[in-house]
Amino acid sequence: MKKTVLSLLIVFIFNGLFAQIKYKPVVKAIFLSPKNETFDASRFPDIDFYYVKKVKYKKPEGMLENIEAGKALAFDKNGILISYSNAVGSDMDHWPDGGNFILPKRGEYTNLKNLSKEYVKKGKVMKEGKKFKGKDPKKLSSKYISFKLPDFVLYTADDKKVSFAELTKGNSLTLIVFVYLNPDKDGKKGTESGKGKTGKQFLKDVNSTLGFEKDLSDLKKIEEFVFGRNMRL
């Protein structure tokens, strides 16, 4: 009984240390890589995961050309882009004094903490912009803020199709993070005992798992700084 109470107390203390956002966004991650079979989604209970292509990566028709790992897009309840970051992990490193979420006005930035206050707490909604003049831009830029992004097809872990547009709607604030997880990295072997392995093989397995964990660094920061989970335990 005492151990149970102590464990709960430790979890409570760590959650208090890491939690920095009172009003939580809904977070969804899109893998820009083939499925890595050693990835365990249960490690990230507050994030929903989707795949561009489960076997072989190919940029889907409709996805903007410069979408890449590390970018994060923020949407209001109507699926309108309100801001985006080119390096979401770096944004969290600079809380609470700064951030790199881009705003419509050139040179102005905010962070996820401020966006959550505006859109989750206060219920703000972005007014949808008028149609682009001429052709729509093929690359993500501040011009897309206040617009809905082009739609494309995604897949769930169990291979069900879902549209990108569907993911962006229905929540006061939705954060969509793009991740690349090297399919050749092994997230498990490096945590195993070295028994029966040569020193060379053991080091190879450890380095593979370290690379695997590095690819997931943005997701771990989100669990820590947004949802208050201690990912270091």
Any domain includes 55: yes
For 204-233, what is each residue's pLDDT tens digit? Answer: 766 777 887 898 999 999 999 899 888 764
Over 70: is that where the pLDDT of 134 sits?
no
Residues 62 and 177 placed together within one structural domain of the fold: yes
Residues 113 and 201 placed together within one structural domain of the fold: no
Question: What's the pLDDT at 41?
Answer: 94
Over 70: is that where the pLDDT of 133 sits?
no
Over 90: is that where the pLDDT of 50 sits?
yes
Over 60: is that where the pLDDT of 23 sits?
yes
Residues 208 and 94 placed together within one structural domain of the fold: no
Over 70: is that where the pLDDT of 202 sits?
no
Domain count, the chain: 2
Any domain includes 231: no
Question: What's the pLDDT at 51?
Answer: 92
Any domain includes 230: no
Q: What is the 3-state secondary structure (H, E, C) of the chain?
A: CHHHHHHHHHHHHHHHHHCCCCCCCEEEEEECCCCCCCCCHHHCCCEEEEECCCCCCCCCCCCCCCCCCCCEEEECCECCEEEEECCHHHHHHCCCCCCCEECCCCCCEECHHHHHHHHHHCCCCCCCCCCCCCCCCCCCCHHHCCCCCCCCEEECCCCCEEEHHHHHECCCCEEEEEECCCCCCCCCHHHCCCCCCCHHHHHHHHHHHHHHHHHCHHHHHHHHHCCCCCCCC
Any domain includes 233: no
> pLDDT above 70 covers what percent of the chain?
81
Question: What's the pLDDT at 44?
Answer: 96
- What are φ and ψ of residue 115, in 5° steps? -60, -40
Any domain includes 157: yes
For residue 200, the enclosing domain spans 183-215
For the ranges 7-11, 132-136, 187-191, 219-223, the lowest mean pLDDT is seen at 7-11
Residues 114 and 195 placed together within one structural domain of the fold: no
Residues 80 and 52 placed together within one structural domain of the fold: yes
Residues 158 and 134 placed together within one structural domain of the fold: yes
